[in-house]
Chain A
Amino acid sequence: MNKIITQVKREVWESSGIFYKAPLLLFAIILVFSAISLYSLHAEHLGDVNFHWSNKWHSEGEQANATEGHQSVQEMAADKLIGVQYIIYFIFGVICLFNTIIYSLGALIGDRRDRSILFFKSLPLSEWQVVITKLLLCAFTLPLIYWLCAFLTVLAYSGGAVAFGTSTLDLSGSELWQQMRVLPSAAAGFVKLWFTGLWALPLISALLLVSAWAKRSPFGILVAVFVGIWLFEKWFLGTGYLVETLAAYLSGLYVGDHISFVAGDGQAGLRGIGAFVVRPGLYLGLAVSCVFVYGAVWLRDRRFEI
């Protein structure tokens, strides 16, 4: 276990940009922009609120109309505040996806390029341990880190939004917090990331295999292999299985339709998990992943020199 923890540390030291600098930077940037947007929203609504407040001394009928107008402004603002958290999760998700691809493609070529593989291979650590650690980091740890940063960002943003809503829009703080559903959304994201990681294992294994195989530019090789198979299929077989399979597989990465925790309905969540685990593609993907990982280990054991 100590070896695996040390190996994880090594990965974090080596790819610190991907593991913590990028999410922390994103955290800081989003908070700054959130603060700016809340301030803008504040300036935008200040006139309306003052207008409604000034109507308090008008007749009862006029006050009722004004209150209605006030509520509609509140709802619009609340919608904006609530919607932003999903944008935050989306931004973190996209950056996590890009960084996972970059990390996977570089994971098994970097030490071969600078020959430090000879140092790592001089230590009592098997290639299985190396490759599987990298695979699990890509599939689960990176998404977990990005989810955590996204959650903290949303939490900080939501705190600001509630403060803004109560102070500027005269909203009830507890109601706004409930409407934002910060914790249920985070919990749903937390559960989904494990299933997404599980579904993504064959894709990440394929990237690791390319990384172990390539002598240079793994991304170029990946694209060349894909385009080569696609053209071969198109020209000689007249089929498009590769693209269709890949599209079907990639669409499966979105597990939101199957697993829903946002509603707080435990039964629905369990049904979603049940639907996910009976997907035949999951097991086919795991089998493919095993083959790719074996291939990557085989290459690392036998053809590691560039």
Chain B
Amino acid sequence: MSAVIQAANINKRYGRHKVLDNINLEINSGKIVGLIGPNGAGKTTLLQSLLGLGVASGDINVLGEDPRRARSKMLEQVCFIADTATLPRWMKVSQAIEYVAGIHPRFDQALAERLLTKTQIKRTSKIRELSKGMVTQLHLALVMAVDAKLLVLDEPTLGLDIIYRRTFYDALLNDYYDGDRTILITTHQVEEIEHLLTDVVFINDGKIVLNESIESFENQFVKLKTGPESVAQARALKPVSESRTLSGHEFIFENVPRERLASLGELALASLAEVFVAKVAPTVSAGAHEESGHE
């Protein structure tokens, strides 16, 4: 399995603020990677650096090219959706298709047209006349018609309703992903992409705080639901987070053998969202821990 993205010692500052702090990242082909982080964590800056849209120091190699030197060549094999509604509003749908067909050597115009027939989008419409969901559908159709090796999605469903979000990810998984392509997604709606991912990367304050395959993630993190009688024993095993529920307490453990936890209560898979909150918001967890400790 070859590396599609290799980034080593990536640093970037805005004035005194360090936005990317010595990032090291390697993504292999065929992976669907979720890049997850809170607002201001550096997700978009990292993506922009990987795509040559921003200047950062360090070594970056995407599909054998340095995006800072050969962005145009690299983008022949990479597709990118940054946010929703970035398609030019003055363009007609037909013009958008014609434009991408003229610029992108790996674009299949017939496939784009076919994908659009599955939607309500008319070729004669101007993009400004489409709803936000339709614009995203159009953008996805344009991207899916490109025979690219890497697809980068930066908050692709932000502001869309649940139906469009579901449709978007269904199309991505069923019609686009073929096992060889690589997809890198950033989103706030962690729970919506959880089932898609093969790998997950958490980023906070410009640093990668977790980089695991989903398989490894599920082995590494476990959720314990327990009653008040086992709380002290659970805390002694140093959970990464603790929260109270109506029925008792829930703990998230990292790298603690399940055999040691099984006697304390019910074990379950920890969701990405739960581990994300535990890893990137330690102050909140600590606060919760402290609060429950006073009880």
**Contacting chain A: which of B19-27, B80-88, B168-176?**
B80-88
Provided the pairs A2-B102, A6-B102, A9-B99 are in contact, do residues A122 and B82 lie with their beta carbons within 8 angstroms?
yes
Asked whether any CB of chain B lies closer than 8 Å to the CB of A14, the reply is yes
Q: How many residues of A contact B (CB 8 A)?
A: 27
Q: Which of A13, A114, A122 contacts B81 (CB 8 A)?
A: A122
**Contacting chain A: which of B67-75, B212-220, B237-245, B263-271?**
B67-75
Asked whether any CB of chain A lies closer than 8 Å to the CB of B114, the reply is no
Main secondary structure of the interface of A (DSSP, over half): helix
Whether the pair B81, A124 counts as a contact (CB closer than 8 A) is: no
Can you add 6 more A-B contacts, CB < 8 Å, to A10-B95, A116-B88, A123-B75?
Answer: A6-B102, A14-B90, A119-B82, A122-B82, A124-B76, A304-B53
Whether the pair A118, B103 counts as a contact (CB closer than 8 A) is: no
Q: Which of A1-43 contact B (CB under 8 A)?
A: 2-3, 5-7, 9-10, 13-14
Whether the pair A3, B103 counts as a contact (CB closer than 8 A) is: yes
Q: Which of B55, B79, B98 contacts A122 (CB 8 A)?
A: B79
Whether the pair B55, A116 counts as a contact (CB closer than 8 A) is: no
Chain A residue at minimum C-beta to C-beta distance from B107: A123
Most A CB atoms within 10 A — which of B75, B81, B86, B101? Answer: B86
| A115 → chain B closest CB, angstroms | 5
Provided the pairs A116-B89, A121-B53 are in contact, do residues A10 and B99 lie with their beta carbons within 8 angstroms?
yes
Whether the pair B83, A118 counts as a contact (CB closer than 8 A) is: yes
- Cβ proximity bits A109-153 to B, threshold 8 Å, 1 near / 0 not: 001001111111111111001000000000000000000000000
Chain B residue at minimum C-beta to C-beta distance from A116: B88
| B6 → chain A closest CB, angstroms | 21
| C-alpha spacing A5/B103, complex, angstroms | 9
Chain A residue at minimum C-beta to C-beta distance from B106: A124
Can you sample 14 A-B contacts with CB below 8 Å?
A: A2-B102, A7-B102, A9-B98, A13-B91, A13-B92, A114-B89, A116-B88, A116-B89, A117-B86, A122-B80, A122-B81, A124-B103, A124-B104, A125-B103
